[in-house]
Structure formats: C-alpha cells, structure tokens
Structure 1
C-alpha cells in the first residue's frame, strides 16, 4: 500500500495527491472497468437514468454512487475514515495534471 501524505491542517490548503498507475494493465484500470459496468448497469436498469428522466447532475450522482457502492461491497477498496475526518475540508475538483 502507498504511504499517504498527511491531510492539510487548514481549510483550502492543497491536498497532497497520491500517484495512481492508470495504465491499461494496472489495478486502477480493472477497478475502473468494474465500477463503470456497475454505473452503466444502473443507468440502463429499471431504476436508472433512462427510466426516470433524470437531470445530468442526478445521472452523474447516481452513477458514481452505484459504482462506489459496488466496489466497496466487493471489498476491493476501503474508506480511510481517519483521513476522511482529518482534514477541515475536501477539494471538490480533481487536479487534472496530477495523474494524466
């Protein structure tokens, strides 16, 4: 497991990022496929986006929720509660140049 840098001490301080291997043969790629399939299944399913005439924001929220829930339930990722509660706030946008 990668050592994690400490969470920032103050609101709006930059969160140090953890390098992620996004190559086609890495673990992230496999998780992305599993999560993507779960999200697509939700979107196309009887309670998903196409069945409910949802807004784009609702579609994104629902797809992300379904994908995260699926990989959490499979035990493929864990929530780092200590880190989640360590910072005074969280960035809501990903730094696009952090992990191309």
Structure 2
C-alpha cells in the first residue's frame, strides 16, 4: 500500500483518500467477507443480536460493525493507527460517493 496521505489541516478540510482495490480477488474483498460473516453471525446467532434482542436499526448496525471490527482486530488483519487517529483535527463520518 502507498504511504498514507497527510491529515487535513483544519476541521472542515477534505480528507485525502487512499485508492482501494475492491475487485473480487483483492485483500479488501477477503477482509470484507470475513467481517461480513462476523457481523452476520452476531446478528443471527448472538443473544445480544437483533434477532434475539429487538433493537432499533441503528443499534443493530452499530453492533454488527462493532463485532466485525473486533473480529478483524483480534485476528490481526487490521491495525489502528493511534498516532494518526489522535493527530486528526476532525473525522469524516460518511464516505463521498
């Protein structure tokens, strides 16, 4: 992977994005499948999931994303760049098309 782009300089500046290969044979596709299985398993099989414990959609999505991220982190397949995380002036909360 290429070096990470610099962080934006202020609160409202756009974040430069890293190009990601999303083809079926890419590393992203493999990680996406693993995360999807973890999220689906939590959703369908966990006593804390929405099939066993009714919850608003937003809470179900948050739980599934949390489960997927935890699974990938625990397997060592993704890392948290704490330095970058704490150095950023703000964070975008959605992706642009």
TM-score higher than 0.5 here? Answer: yes
| Local SS of the residue matching 1:37 | helix
| Local SS of the residue matching 2:51 | helix
Larger relative contact order (C-alpha < 8 A, sep ≥ 6)?
1
Structure 2 portions without partners, runs of 5+: none
1:2 offset after TM fit, Å?
Answer: 2.1
TM-score if structure 1 supplies the norm length? 0.92
- Aligned counterpart, 2:20: 20
Q: CA RMSD in A?
A: 0.8
- Aligned counterpart, 1:34: 34
Aligned length: 96
Kindly report which structure 2 residues correspond to 1:17-96, keeping only aligned pairs within 5 A, or say none.
17-45=17-45, 46-96=47-97
TM-score if structure 2 supplies the norm length? 0.95
Structure 1 portions without partners, runs of 5+: none
Q: Separation in 1 of the partners of 2:15 and 2:55?
A: 33
